[in-house]
Amino acid sequence: MEFRQLGSSGLKVSAIAYGNWLTHGSQVEEDAAKACVRQALDDGITTFDTADVYADTAAETVLGRALEGVRRESVEICTKVFFPTGPGGPNDSGLSRKHIRESIDASLRRLQTDHVDLYQAHRYDHETPLEETMEAFADVVHSGRAHYIGVSEWTAEQLRAGHELARDLHVPFVSNQPQYSMLWRVIEAEVVPTCEELGIGQVVWSPIAQGVLTGKYRPGQPHPPGSRATDDKGGADMVQRWLRDDVLEAVAALGPIAEQAGLSMAQLAVAWVLQNPNVSAAIIGATRPEQVTENVKAADARLDDDVLRAIDEALDGVVERDPGHTAKSSPRSRPS
């Protein structure tokens, strides 16, 4: 396993991180989830990403139980706050001081630890002053309940403003967690250059585009049983944008490229995001332990310029690059 600095901080994370969005507490049973975590540990993964909202808090609970007995100092546990986790009251979501302070304590109880390594704002809260949010994060760090802070899906402008406040408050703001893949490159124009300047690393989610870049979805054919596209607990909604015939035909053209590189299509997809020097880690998910092992092999892959050009040619016309999508990911009002 390769280990990378998280931004310009001293924290190192595994280049492949294990995430449990849409799996633990939802798509797979707990025994299967624990088996995947054990496999991740066996394969050298030390960085585990979750969020309080995943499976309505169950994902954190499952991860906490799965990591029982593991030396706490040997892993990096990352979680997030923003989306609703209570009965839907006016303060059960967002990045207010109240919600952050209550949420970190609840997350620590579920994860069975006294601190997380990285605490992240899951989205930007337009209803809370940024100063209030960053001061609350500073309290979390200064009290020892988190070592570092990060965000997810913030725009370049939001990142710059948050980083300035964090610096004034002596809080290590070290990461951003955006969606990033061969098909979804919206961070490249604005977010990545800003983060390179500020010393913020990317911990990217969905490097395989919700499974589409594995090549298992074929134009005009039924979706494979048990795949993300057949998941009625949220997975099908997320993958829908990539199930157009033109996208699937372009993705199919990646098969020979992967074969020539000696990689599976999934490994090619994960290796591709890791070629970006601003990417500290790529988050993978799994429903079976063997999926973990396959994806981990991408950490050692290096794609030469000919392979990168071939990928761009194959996907020409179906790649999403509009940086405006990042702003759209944060709701204008708090979700309930």
Query: 320-336 burial, b for 16+ CB within 10 Å, e for fewer?
Result: eeebeebbeebbeebee
DSSP 214: G
Name the one residue in this structure whose structure tokens are 């690059």.
321
322: Cβ–Cβ under 8 A, 6 or more apart, which residues?
A: 186
- CA nearest 195: which of 173, 215, 226? 173
Q: Please, what is the average pLDDT of the chain?
A: 92
Tens digits of residue pLDDT in 235-289: 556 677 888 889 999 999 999 999 999 999 999 999 999 999 999 999 999 889 9
Name the one residue in this structure whose structure tokens are 């139980």.
65
C-alpha triplet 230, 235, 238: angle, nearest 5°: 115
Is the domain covering 3-7+12-214+276-301 a CATH 3.40.50.300 domain?
A: no
The amino acid at residue 296 is: V
Q: pLDDT at residue 196 above 80?
A: yes
In whole angstroms, how large is the CA radius of gyration of the chain?
19
Q: Residue 219's pLDDT is what?
A: 75
- The 10 Å Cβ neighbour count of residue 246 is 10
pLDDT band per the 50, 70, 90 thresholds, residue 30: confident
d(CA 243, CA 222): 11
Q: Residue 228's pLDDT is what?
A: 57
> What are 103's two structure tokens?
């949420």
pLDDT band per the 50, 70, 90 thresholds, residue 230: very low
pLDDT band per the 50, 70, 90 thresholds, residue 216: confident
Tens digits of residue pLDDT in 295-323: 999 999 999 999 999 999 999 999 999 99
Q: Which residues pair with 202 in a beta bridge?
A: 176, 279
232 Cα distance to chain centroid: 21
Pairing state of beta strands 16-19 and 279-284? parallel
Q: Residue 225's pLDDT is what?
A: 60
Q: Which residues pair with 204 in a beta bridge?
A: 282
**Better-predicted residue by pLDDT, 221 or 256:** 256
pLDDT band per the 50, 70, 90 thresholds, residue 24: low
Tens digits of residue pLDDT in 68-95: 999 999 999 999 999 999 888 999 999 9
- CA nearest 8: which of 205, 176, 143? 176
Share of the chain above pLDDT 90, in %: 82
Q: What is the mean pLDDT of residues 49-66?
A: 94
d(CA 302, CA 297): 11
d(CA 284, CA 211): 10
54 is catalytic: yes
pLDDT band per the 50, 70, 90 thresholds, residue 218: confident
d(CA 270, CA 242): 17
Whole-model pTM: value is 0.92
